[in-house]
Structure 1
Amino acid sequence: MARRKRLIGRTLGAAAAAGALAWLVVTGSAQNAQQNNGGSAVKTVAGEAPGYAVEDFNYPGADQILAEKGITLKRGDGHITLADCVTGTGQLEVWARSKDKVCFDVTGTSGWLTLEIPSVYGVRGNDYATQVDMTTGTEEKSFDVAKNSWTPVGESADEQGREFMLVEIRTSA
């Protein structure tokens, strides 16, 4: 999990650096051309064109979801999304003492979502191969979730019955 976070951090850092460098080259070239041609040959259009979207993988509306539902959704690739629970729809179900049932829609061939849901004790899988990462104190544990079946995770799978927080969900088709 730490290696994945470092890789994502490096990738985002490299993308930001490349964007900054491109901006400097474009604006510097435009200013040089404008100075060399008396200011009439080149016109900067940055204010006229729409900006570029840069994906930061932050979960959209996370602050509102935290305020309304008490669930911390951090980052993901958009293939695992919080959903209203609907029976018979193939959703991934997470059971926690603190929130009862929390449901997620899963799409695509793979997905990941980092989040925080305390006191998780069970997950009902769907048609995807699913793995959940959980923490208790400084200890991290991963659990493979059975397809279309209940899997005990966290405190229900821990010999000491310790309380676990769900911190990441990963799926693959």
Structure 2
Amino acid sequence: MKARSAVLRTIGATLAAGTLGWLTVTSGVPAVSGTSADGAPAETVANEGLAYAIEDFSYPNADKILAEQKIKLKKGDGHILLAQCDTTPGLLEVYSRINEKICFSVAGDSGYLTLEIPAVFGVRGNDYNTQVDMAVGTEEKTYAILKNEWTAVGETADAQGRDFMLLEIRASK
């Protein structure tokens, strides 16, 4: 009796597996390899691997900011951000003949931002140790910005009064 019961279970399991396979083939579910029910080549998701999110550190909405404010923001780590020039304490202020006053908030232990702002002549520092890289033609200069004070940079610090472009801001605590 036990042997007969085992044979019946085996036959039942085989029939169930065959039925499941038949249902899969006739239901239009794509095969694991070969072609799908509509004749197109089937692809296995496992072969695609994981999708990777690659951070390129591009500044969000940079095109819109350039069109509206004529400030070219390129890349940064997210710790130096364009801000409204208002009464918020601790803003870094950049003075330009083109844009007048441009403000940035700084957060975290350190930050950097690459950008292009023409005709920059001064920077008012905040509580961070800040440096700015500027260029005129092929000549580049780095200026250390005084904490919470005005620092002459670019044309106001240049004996020839040349028009400098702000290229990078770096800040650290």
The TM-score, its normalising length taken from structure 1, stands at 0.72
CA RMSD across the alignment: 2.1
CA distance in 1, matches of 2:80, 2:50: 29
1:16-27 equivalence runs, <5 A: none
State the AA in 2 paired with 1:119: A
**Percent identity of the aligned residues?**
60
Residues 105-152 of structure 1 show CA distances to partners (whole Å, capped at 9, x for unaligned) of 000101000000000000000000000000001100000000000000
CA distance in 2, matches of 1:131, 1:91: 15
Paired residue total: 133
Q: Which runs of 4+ in 1 moved over 2 A?
A: 49-53
CA shift in 2, pair 1:172/1:46, >3 Å: farther
State the AA in 2 paired with 1:44: V
| Consecutive unaligned residues in structure 1, runs of 5 or more | 1-33, 36-41
Q: Larger radius of gyration, structure 1 or 2?
A: 2
CA shift in 2, pair 1:109/1:159, >3 Å: same
Q: Does 1:108 align with 2:102?
A: no
Q: Does 1:75 align with 2:42?
A: no
The TM-score, its normalising length taken from structure 2, stands at 0.72
CA distance in 1, matches of 2:103, 2:167: 15
Q: Does 1:127 align with 2:163?
A: no
Residues 6-46 of structure 1 show CA distances to partners (whole Å, capped at 9, x for unaligned) of xxxxxxxxxxxxxxxxxxxxxxxxxxxx66xxxxxx95268
More helix by share: 1
